[in-house]
Amino acid sequence: MPDRPADDSVERMEFMLTLRRRGISDQAVLRAMDEVPREHFVEPNFLDTAYADNALPIACGQTISQPYVVAYMSEQLGVRPSHRVLEIGTGSGYQAAVLSRLAREVVSIERYRTLADTARSRLTTLGTKNVEILLGDGLEGAPLRAPFDRIIVTAAAERIPDELVTQLGPDGVMILPLGPHSGTQELVRLTRTGEGLKREALIAVRFVPLLPGRAREL
């Protein structure tokens, strides 16, 4: 890419190599991962490790997900250019930025005002126009904007949020980390079919908890 400083190109090459080595093969997902500058979404004191394959702390005690998990979830979601996608848990805005390159439109909900505002301004700086960030309780989804072709939950749910299932369109797919708030969860894919919801277990993951209501703190 033309305007990238030369000194981070090795890191970024390794970043892409790691994703391929770990099995990410969807070209559109790989392109999106290559295009979105992750350093733009991490806290200034973690700039050095922006391209390491780790989750990192962000404001409000939350985390920006590990790049592999972002790529894996994006791939398993099967996003097409015509799709409208709902994300629960904007956090840094990184996953939303990746999805914005794969989908027609992304609606992302965050319960912390600070995170929602920061993510919104980051995406504006990057010139991303097809992401709408809403402040609110993601457990309620975005009924006025439903149905969605794809729903991605990026915080750990102890049970399947019923309201989100109702906002999934025909043939819709939802991916969410399901399991206890402490420890690991199972990434689960739900597909709406003619016969009902199909459920598949994917990989083990570790996410911060999906909590009800808007955060009382900023």
Is residue 141 a contact residue for ligand SAH (CB under 6 A)? Answer: no
Residue closer to ligand SAH by CB (options 133, 190) is 133
- Using rule CB under 6 A, residue 116 touches ligand SAH: no
Q: Where does this chain touch ligand SAH (CB under 6 A) — which range of 43-51, 77-85, 107-115, 188-196?
A: 107-115
Q: Side-chain half-sphere of 170: how many Cα atoms within 13 Å?
A: 1
Here the tokens at position 174 are 């939802």
Distance CA 90, CA 62 (A): 10
Considering only the stretches 6-14, 91-99, 122-130, 198-206, report the one whose residues sit in contact with ligand SAH under the rule CB under 6 A: 91-99
Report 180-209 residues binding ligand SAH (CB under 6 A). Answer: 208
154 binds ligand SAH (CB under 6 A): yes
Residue whose C-alpha is closest to residue 41's, from 22, 18, 64, 59: 64
> Is residue 110 near ligand SAH by the rule CB under 6 A?
yes
**66 secondary structure, DSSP code:** P
Of the candidates 88, 63, 59, 72, the residue with the CA atom closest to the CA atom of residue 157: 88
Kindly list the distances between the CA atom of residue 119 and the CA atoms of 9, 73, 160, in Å, as whole numbers in the listed order: 25, 20, 26
CA distances to 69, 80, 128, 150 from 101, rounded to whole Å, are 17, 10, 9, 14
65 is catalytic: yes
Catalytic residue among 65, 74, 92, 108: 65
Of 75, 105, 137, 149, the one binding ligand SAH (CB under 6 A) is: 137
In angstroms, what is the minimal distance from the CB of 124 to ligand SAH?
Answer: 16
List contacts with ligand SAH (CB under 6 A). 62-65, 88-89, 91-92, 94-95, 109-112, 115, 137-139, 154-155, 208, 210-212
